Amino acid sequence: MRAAGDGIAGEARGFRLHGWRWHHVAIGRELGAISTALGSGVDCGDPSAVAAVVDAFAFARRSVWAVHNTMEREVLFPWIDTGRAVSAALSSFAAERERLEAAATEVEARLARLAAATAERDAPWRGVAACGPETARAAAAVRVLADEAAALFAAEEAALIPLVTGDFSADEQARVFLTAVHGLAGGLRGPTAKLQLVLFHEALKAGGGGEEWGHFKREVPRPARAWIPVWKKRLRGERRGPLKLSGVSLHVVTSLVTLAI
């Protein structure tokens, strides 16, 4: 199946809701990095290493994926919902989104149990072979979740991008985009919007979004792009120690208020 963000054959040029697709790329990148870190063998004898993975997953789920889901649920899907056939597709996508949200909750609980057991002084698998299978099961759970999320995002894009392009003008799309952004905490200039921009920049620049990197550079105003390195540095300053997960762009454990200019 086509990966989210790789582009659609014959895609019309009128689609402007690129931030929706950028979320798909960013979510996939975060989940993929966490799966890779677990798969490469996190040291279960090092509680801080396991805790870093748990925190990274919580960050991806609550600070990135939840923002995407809220925008779909409260703004994008109600706006697109113009007919019975479309409503059926949207209902199907929404049901799968809800299922994945529940699955993500279960995965986070599994990772939290692994971290809690690892932190115990007399944990049964600290430094013994039992650690490997338990970590492997956690890695498999994250990998399945990442694959299922990618499948949903690809199906949504294939169905909804042509519809939006054909039924809504660029001006209408711009208005719904502003509605979605202003619904974030602090609006267009708030910390949540800035965080999303940093994540989009990291994921797209790394090559995960194909043509979307070009859209990002065209659609995001130059002044905002100039601030991204500053916001990124401030966010990294919020991290609880080093997070050595290659590909996990950020790990935020305190308030994002420091993003305010």
Give the closest residue to 203 by CA, choosing from 248, 157, 156: 248
Residue-level pLDDT at 151: 98
Residue-level pLDDT at 186: 63
Provide the residue ranges of all domains of the chain, joining segments of one domain with +.
18-259
CA–CA separation, 206 vs 28, rounded Å? 12
User: Mind listing the pLDDT tens digit for each residue in 25-43?
Assistant: 999 999 998 988 887 766 6
Which runs of E-coded beta strand occur in 132-190? none
The residue behind tokens 């308030």 is 255
Could you tell me the two tokens for 146?
């990442």
User: What separation in angstroms does the CA of 53 have from each of 79, 166, 222?
Assistant: 36, 42, 34
Give the closest residue to 132 by CA, choosing from 43, 47, 56, 52: 43
Least confident of 50-64, 124-138, 221-235: 124-138
User: Mind listing the pLDDT tens digit for each residue in 156-202?
Assistant: 999 999 999 999 998 999 889 888 887 776 666 678 888 888 889 88
User: Mind listing the pLDDT tens digit for each residue in 76-104?
Assistant: 999 999 776 789 999 999 999 999 999 99
* Helix H or strand E encompassing 80: helix 77-80
More confident residue, 116 or 31: 31
Q: What is the mean pLDDT of the chain?
A: 78
Could you tell me the two tokens for 43?
């040291």
Q: Distance between terminal CA atoms of the chain?
A: 41
More confident residue, 70 or 235: 70
Is 211:25 a contact under the CB 8 Å cutoff? no
Residue 4 DSSP SS3: coil
Could you tell me the two tokens for 213?
């990197």
